Structures are given as structure tokens and as C-alpha cells.
Amino acid sequence: DTPRPSNFLRQIIESDLDRGTHAARLWGGTPGDARHHSQGSVDAARIRTRFPPEPNGYLHVGHAKSICVNFGLARDYAGTCHLRFDDTNPEKEDQEFVDGIIDAVHWLGFDWKDPEGGRENLYWASNYFDFMYRAAEYLIERGLAYVDEQSPEEMRANRGDFSRPGVNSPFRERSAAENLARFREMKEGRLPDGAAVLRAKIDMASPNINLRDPAIYRIKHAEHHNTGNQWCIYPMYTYAHPIEDALEHITHSICTLEFEDQRPFYDWLLDHLREGGLIAAPQPRQYEFARLNLTYVVTSKRKLKHLVDSGTVSGWDDPRMPTIVGLRRRGFTPESIRDFCERIGVTKDYAWIDYALLEACLREDLEARAHRAMVVLDPLKLELTNWAEVFGSDAHLEACELPALPHAREGEAVPTRHLKLGREVWIEREDFAEEPPKGYKRLFPGNRVRLKGGYVIECTGCEKDEAGHVTRVLATVVGGTKSGTPGADSVKVKAAITWVGAADAVAAEVRLYDRLFTDPQPDSGGKDYLALLNPDSLKVARAWVEPSLAAAQAGDKFQFERFGYFVADCADHSGERLVFNRITGLKDSWGK
Ligand code: ATP
Ligand code: MG
Ligand code: MG
């Protein structure tokens, strides 16, 4: 393994480990702790990170960055990363998404076990609802929270904005006893949705609007997948999240920069809960990094869902989707995505990352290991008219060999593929021109080319239908010029073209995917992403492919010579029906 480049998070962690910042942690006795005392102590000096998705959709490439950061740091510093489902929102969760998230993290190559002992660190935020409620009562008792019965509109108006301070709520100075009584009424279901919220009592004049008495509990008469109808009040994310981190003894709570302004509240809350003895010291600390912005993709869950629901794409796993299931079906490897996340690094600077970088990582990963194959995507029949004269019979098939990998690994033999050349061959329609444009080096009457890995041939003409379309190309084979034999270089040609022998060609559907959007930033600056859809993001070719591909298993990846990298489709490919997806071309074609 090459050493990983440092970044600000690594520096913070290394300094914390040096100073033993987390070693003093008191394990065990915290009320509501996800772990039970009987599970024993944990090495207190280890770092703990977490990845906290809301199970309300499929994960996308942006989440992959967060997964690589959090699980990657835990791996590199012998710590642990928790997978925590942030299910504080009662109505949105779905088992399909929970399963999808678990799959995605595993597929990317990570898990949530402790490095020793193998404890599973998979948690649910909703398991802490009791603790969160008690913590809220504690804040009320200490005069740090109050029940506000202003209407949502009043509350919004009184919050103020960047140019003016907020206005105190008329309910702000109620006594702790009255607040407690009102909060219990909320909890007991005696108030309808929206009638009141519990707010932290901080500072309505703070320049940080997040500190202007943020709401921490709201009323929502809704059934929850885990707690059923036990609750009709639910904690707000900004309140729940620091508590979840503290109860799980997270050391470094790493999130995206949008949460930077929430950090003062994160600390305010945990400072008070620690003073009250509700959580243990040391507290988790929040650190922020810049989210991933990738060109040509949309990562908003709502917008991705719309693409699925409207039938614009075939599903969450459509190979054009930036979801992890989509990237996987498209043919991206976990290695290439991890490498991509490593290369873009972790910073605090907003930047657009070029989609081409993701593809470059894939090419680099597959270059050495994807077997080569020849396919014809736009087939035109070629007939070698002197076949019987050269080989004794029109039925003769000439065995040809090509390397399956151009460079074998050290100590390994170069794997080979076996092809059969016969009188009839499929070639690419664009490899023949009756009247060649200037500089054209492929087949035209009178010109010679090599059939890659086979013989030199000379074009003699073509046949056409009534409409004038070329239906067949005619050529003669030049004997004694077979690739790999001493005579191969006796005839010089300027081009070698790809081909598939008609006698043993296998039919396949090849899905030529392209970017889903035509604009590099389809989701910024108020643009209408739906107006920027690429009408040519999928073209389907009825192809002929070389016989070695008949054995391809779903998920197998190849380099189709001259066309790029392809994968046997996970959903639709089978031994009876070959379906390949183009992952990416051989060279970067983005932004051109
Ligand atoms: P929602 O709009 O539903 O809140 P979300 O993208 O924030 O969607 P979460 O499930 O809350 O989804 O995200 C889980 C984690 O992934 C969060 O910690 C979030 O910061 C991180 N994350 C989300 N998008 C990106 C991104 N583009 N780059 C890096 N991290 C991201
Ligand atoms: Mg979120
Ligand atoms: Mg979000």
C-alpha cells in the first residue's frame, strides 16, 4: 500500500492520538448508551467515526466520499466507524433503503465491526428517543429550553435574518414548571401538529441564526417504523445528531461544510448535557469538509427520485444514475471509487470535480485486468472471395490467437483468446468507404488492411441494395500474411481493423451509455435540470461479439478493443441473452 497523503482531518486525528485526547473517556455508565455494560470496555484510545445516512433514498457518489472518509479514517487509525441510521424523521424511512445502504457500504469494501472483538456497530437514532426526551426535560428544568406556541409564520418572521436580530417570543420567559407541563402535553398527544415546538433558549440576537433559539422538538402525529405510536413528538436533526454522537462515544464527528454553522449549537448542547452528567467526557467534536460536487451529475435525492418516478431512467440502479447501485451496474469497481475518493482528497474548499477523473480511475483499475475482446457494434458483412483458393475450401476456418491481456503480471503467462477467421466476417460499417475521404486508411477498393490478429486483405468492391446502401464488402485474403507468422510483415498496411468471424459470432445487445445531462452543472444556479437531459444518453446496438464473450458472467468487465470498457449487465445479462453496458470509452471524451 502506498502511504496516503495527509489532510486536515488526518492531522487532527494524529494530534489527538498523540495527546491521548480520547483516552480519558469514561465508558459504560451513560444512560441510553447503545452498548450495554455487559459488553465490556472498549479500547478508549481508539478513534470512532460514524456514517449517519437517513434511510430515505439510495446512496450516491457524494455519500461514497463520506463513506470513504469516515470508514477510511477508522481503518487507517485502527479505530471503528459506526453505521448509524438517522431515523428521527418518522415518515420517510423504508426497509428498501436500509438494505440498499447496508449493501452499498459493504460493496465499497467497508464494515462497521470493531477491529478486535468483531462487535457490530450498526445503530438506530430512534433507539435514543427516551434519552433525548429526558435530556429535553433536563434543559427545560435548567431554564435552557421553552415551549413556544407562536405560529410557524410568526416564528419564521421573528427569527430575523442576517441584517437584523430576531425578536424574542412572548412565550420565552415562561417558568420551567410551566414549560415542563406544556412539553408533557405535547408528548401526551394533547396538541395537534404544529401547535407548539420546544426551543433551546440561547440568543435571539446571535449573528449565527442557528443559535436564535433553534427548535429541538416538534409535534408529529405519525407512526415510526421502530417506535410505532409511542411518540407523537420527534427530535429535530440538529438536536438529535450531537446526542447520537455522544451516546456512541464518537470521537470525530465528520460532516459536510453546510453544518459548520451548526457546530456552535452542537457544542452548546453537549456542554450542557455533560455539565448535567447526562453524557460522559470527553465530548465528540464536529469537523467539516467540502461536499463532493461532480460535474454532469445531480445528487439531490429529491431530484434523483424524480428521475426514477417519472421513468426518465429505469430505476435507482439505472447505469446512468450517480447512485452507488447505478455506478455498480454501470460497471464501476469499488476499487475505482475508493481511488477516486482518495485522489479528490479532503479539504474545506468548494470545488467542482470533473467526472472525467472518476472515469480515469476506472480505466486505471481495469487496464491491467479487464480481458480484451473484439465486437462489431454496427455490423457490415465482409466476404473474402478467394477463400477456397487460399485455404482449400470455403468451409475452412483459420484459427487465430490474440492476447486477452496485453501485459501479463510477472510470472504469469499471457492469457490468449481464440478466434476463427472464415470466408465471411463481420466488420464495422464505418471501416468501409466506397469513396474514401482524404486520409482514410481503412477499407476502400484497392486498399489493403489487416484483420486484427488475422490476415492482410485487399478490398475489391462492394454490393449494394436498390436504395444504394452497401450490403456487403468484397475482398481477397493475402496468403502468408497471418499475424504472428514470419510472413506477417511481408505486406505493409496502414491500418488494422477489428472483426468478428461470421461462423461463430455471438449476438449481443450493447448499451452505449453517455452522460445523463448535457450541462456540466445541471443542478446549480437555478437551472432546470430536466431541460438539460441528454437525449442520447442511451443508444442500443445489436452487436456481434467474439465467441469468448459467450461465457461472460454478469458483472464481468472487458475492454472491447477500440470502444472502451464494458460490463456484462447485472440485471439483464444471461447465457441466453448477452447484454453489455459501456462503462466508459478508452479516452476521456468528457468536456469535448
Ligand atoms: P437529504 O437531502 O435527504 O438530507 P443527504 O444527502 O444529506 O440527503 P444523508 O443520508 O443525510 O443524505 O447523508 C448521509 C451523510 O452523507 C451525511 O453525513 C452527509 O453529510 C453526507 N453527504 C451527503 N452528500 C454528500 C456529498 N455530496 N459529499 C460528501 N458527503 C455527502
Ligand atoms: Mg441529510
Ligand atoms: Mg442533504
Each residue of 309-339: pLDDT tens digit?
A: 999 999 999 999 999 999 999 999 999 999 9
Whether 322 lines ligand 1, by a CB cut-off of 6 Å, is no
In a domain, 384, yes or no: yes
Helix (H, G, I), strand (E, B) or coil at 232: coil
In a domain, 65, yes or no: yes
Q: pLDDT by residue (tens digit) across 67-84?
A: 999 999 999 999 999 999
Spell out the residues 6+ positions from residue 157 whose beta carbon is closer than 8 angstroms to its own.
none
Is residue 97 located within the same domain as residue 194? no
Return d(Cα 362, Cα 364) in angstroms, integer: 5
Give the dihedral sign, CA 227/229/231/235. positive
The domain spanning residue 229 has which CATH number?
3.90.800.10
Give the residue, 414 or 364, on which the prediction is more confident.
364
Predicted confidence at residue 42, as pLDDT, reads 46
Position 65 pLDDT exceeds 90: yes
Q: pLDDT by residue (tens digit) across 83-136?
A: 999 999 987 768 899 999 999 999 999 999 887 777 899 999 999 999 999 999
Return d(Cα 222, Cα 233) in angstroms, integer: 9
Residue appearing with cell numbers 481508539: 46
409 pLDDT band, cuts 50/70/90, is confident
What predicted TM-score, i.e. pTM, was given to this entire model? 0.92
Q: State in Å: Cα 264 to ligand 3 middle.
A: 19
Question: What is the phi/psi pair of residue 110, to 5°?
Answer: -120, 160
Is residue 125 located within the same domain as residue 156? no
Domain stops at, among 202, 236, 270: 236
In a domain, 247, yes or no: yes
Annotated binding residues for ATP, written as ranges, equal 54-56, 256, 291-292
In a domain, 417, yes or no: yes
Is residue 190 located within the same domain as residue 242? no
Q: State in Å: Cα 275 to ligand 3 middle.
A: 31
Is residue 108 located within the same domain as residue 170? no
Q: State in Å: Cα 302 to ligand 2 middle.
A: 12
Is residue 473 located within the same domain as residue 449? yes
Residue nearest to atom 25 of ligand 1 (CA): 62
Predicted confidence at residue 1, as pLDDT, reads 53
Cis peptide before 547 (omega within 30 of 0): no
Q: Are 34 and 55 in contact (CB under 8 A)?
A: no
498 pLDDT band, cuts 50/70/90, is very high
The DSSP call for residue 315 is: S
Percent of the chain with pLDDT over 70: 94
Predicted confidence at residue 90, as pLDDT, reads 87
Domain stops at, among 236, 260, 284: 236
Atom number of ligand 1 nearest to Cα 256: 20
Is residue 80 located within the same domain as residue 229? no
Q: Which of 274, 291, 441, 452 is catalytic?
A: 291
Average pLDDT score over the chain: 93
DSSP-H helix ranges across 415-564: none
Q: State in Å: Cα 258 to ligand 3 middle.
A: 9
In a domain, 168, yes or no: yes
Is residue 125 located within the same domain as residue 16? yes
Structural domain including 26 reads 8-129+238-301+331-340
DSSP-H helix ranges across 150-248: 152-158, 176-187, 237-247
**Most confident range, picked from 44-48, 192-196, 586-590:** 192-196
In a domain, 424, yes or no: yes
Is residue 433 located within the same domain as residue 467? yes
Mean pLDDT to the nearest integer, 422-426 = 98
Residue nearest to atom 16 of ligand 1 (CA): 63
Active site residue 561: no
Position 374 pLDDT exceeds 70: yes
Q: pLDDT by residue (tens digit) across 499-550?
A: 999 999 999 999 999 999 999 999 988 899 999 999 999 999 999 999 999 9
H or E element that contains 336: helix 334-344
Active site residue 54: yes
Is residue 160 located within the same domain as residue 290? no
**In this predicted structure, which of 109-123, 165-179, 257-271, 335-349 has the lowest mean pLDDT?**
109-123
Predicted confidence at residue 40, as pLDDT, reads 38
The domain spanning residue 60 has which CATH number?
3.40.50.620
The DSSP call for residue 408 is: P
Is residue 232 located within the same domain as residue 243? no
186 pLDDT band, cuts 50/70/90, is very high
Point out which residues pair with 418 in neighbouring strands: 401
In a domain, 406, yes or no: yes
In a domain, 484, yes or no: yes
Is residue 294 located within the same domain as residue 386? no
ipTM for the complex shown: 0.95
Whether 62 lines ligand 1, by a CB cut-off of 6 Å, is yes
Count how many domains the chain has: 3
Give the residue, 380 or 118, on which the prediction is more confident.
380
Q: Which of 301, 320, 442, 482 is catalytic?
A: 301
Q: Which ligand is nearest to the CA of 303?
A: 1
SS3 assignment for 27-52: CCCCCCCCCCHHHCCCCCCCCEEEEC
Is residue 59 located within the same domain as residue 122? yes
Domain stops at, among 469, 497, 525: 497
Atom number of ligand 1 nearest to Cα 299: 27
Annotated binding residues for L-glutamine, written as ranges, equal 86, 237
Whether 60 lines ligand 1, by a CB cut-off of 6 Å, is no
The domain spanning residue 453 has which CATH number?
2.40.240.10
35 pLDDT band, cuts 50/70/90, is very low
Give the dihedral sign, CA 32/37/40/44. positive
Extract the C-alpha cell encoding 182: 406544556
Q: State in Å: Cα 351 to ligand 3 middle.
A: 18
- Beta-sheet strand order (sheet of 233-235): 145-148, 197-200, 215-219, 233-235
H or E element that contains 145: strand 145-148
Predicted confidence at residue 22, as pLDDT, reads 77
Predicted confidence at residue 589, as pLDDT, reads 59
Point out which residues pair with 235 in neighbouring strands: 217
Q: Which of 10, 54, 398, 562 is catalytic?
A: 54
Extract the C-alpha cell encoding 21: 485526547
Whether 68 lines ligand 1, by a CB cut-off of 6 Å, is no
Whether 50 lines ligand 1, by a CB cut-off of 6 Å, is no
Active site residue 154: no
